[in-house]
């Protein structure tokens, strides 16, 4: 019996190590996107492209969605490794699939004559910063539906999951904050300002941080982490 227990323990250790601090990895991806966006904005300003539409598109994509690329790679890596499906993987796929929306909204708004520097353009950085978060939120709900096989149970699980609740709060609160900032007179007239506006609005790091804290707490108490459920 002792030998069988030892074998079981050894089988479980690699799995625990494989899933260790998945939220920590996602937080690193977010930091990389922020740094890349700010550096891109600084370089473009230095080169004289302060109001370049293509420059704004690039800076906002890196600042607001750069982490989605890394998280998508993370999700793909999990599939290639055939790891057990987890919330972290579903979250990564959702963020990657939500990337294209802001591009259509941005360029469509410009073609329609929207002043992207004024108050009326406040929603553009919002979608760059959080469209991937919206995708991740929906993907998480679908994950619960597949797991529970019932919409009522899935919704109940959704509102009991701290990461999903934090994500929903951010999705609803950020556009209000952006509108207030634009009404107060702020305008992204340089690429650096564009990067800063998008970075501040991009609170995608909050849900992973909440999950990371919960994961550490659950590991200390010997329970399964929220992210792995």
When pLDDT is averaged across residues 23-33 and rounded to a whole number, the result is 74
Q: What pLDDT was estimated at residue 93?
A: 60
Q: What pLDDT was estimated at residue 22?
A: 59
Q: Degrees (nearest 5) of the Cα angle 172, 74, 221? A: 75
Q: Where does the pLDDT of residue 43 fall: very low under 50, low under 70, confident under 90, or very high at 90 and above? A: very high
30-44, 92-106, 173-187: least confidently modelled range: 92-106
pTM confidence score: 0.73
Q: Please indicate whether residue 226 or residue 32 has the higher confidence score (pLDDT).
A: 32
Q: What pLDDT was estimated at residue 7?
A: 47
Q: Degrees (nearest 5) of the Cα angle 171, 172, 175? A: 85
When pLDDT is averaged across residues 22-33 and rounded to a whole number, the result is 73
Q: For the chain, give every domain's residue range.
A: 22-228
The burial class, CB within 10 Å (0-12 / 13-18 / 19+), for 60 is: buried
- 134-172 pLDDT per residue, tens: 887 888 888 888 888 889 888 998 898 888 899 999 999
- 51-78 pLDDT per residue, tens: 999 999 999 999 888 776 666 666 666 6
């Amino acid at each position: 019996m002792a030998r069988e227990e030892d074998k079981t323990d050894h089988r479980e250790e690699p799995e625990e190590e494989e899933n260790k601090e998945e939220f920590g990895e996602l937080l690193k991806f977010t930091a990389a996107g922020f740094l890349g966006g700010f550096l891109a904005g600084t370089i473009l300003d230095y080169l004289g492209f302060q109001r370049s539409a293509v420059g704004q598109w690039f800076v906002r994509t890196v600042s607001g969605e750069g982490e989605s690329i890394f998280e998508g790679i993370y999700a793909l890596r999990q599939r290639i490794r055939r790891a057990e499906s987890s919330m972290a993987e579903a979250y990564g796929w959702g963020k990657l699939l939500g990337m294209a929306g802001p591009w259509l909204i941005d360029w469509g708004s410009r073609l329609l004559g929207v002043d992207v520097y004024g108050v009326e353009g406040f929603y553009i950085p919002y979608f760059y910063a959080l469209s991937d978060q919206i995708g991740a939120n929906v993907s998480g709900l679908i994950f619960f539906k597949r797991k529970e096989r019932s919409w009522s149970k899935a919704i109940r699980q959704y509102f009991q999951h701290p990461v999903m609740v934090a994500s929903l709060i951010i999705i609803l609160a950020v556009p209000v904050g952006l509108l207030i900032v634009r009404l107060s007179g702020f305008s992204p007239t340089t690429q650096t300002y564009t990067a800063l506006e998008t970075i501040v609005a991009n609170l995608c790091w909050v849900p992973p941080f909440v999950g990371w804290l919960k994961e550490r707490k659950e590991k200390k108490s010997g329970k399964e982490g929220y992210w792995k459920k």
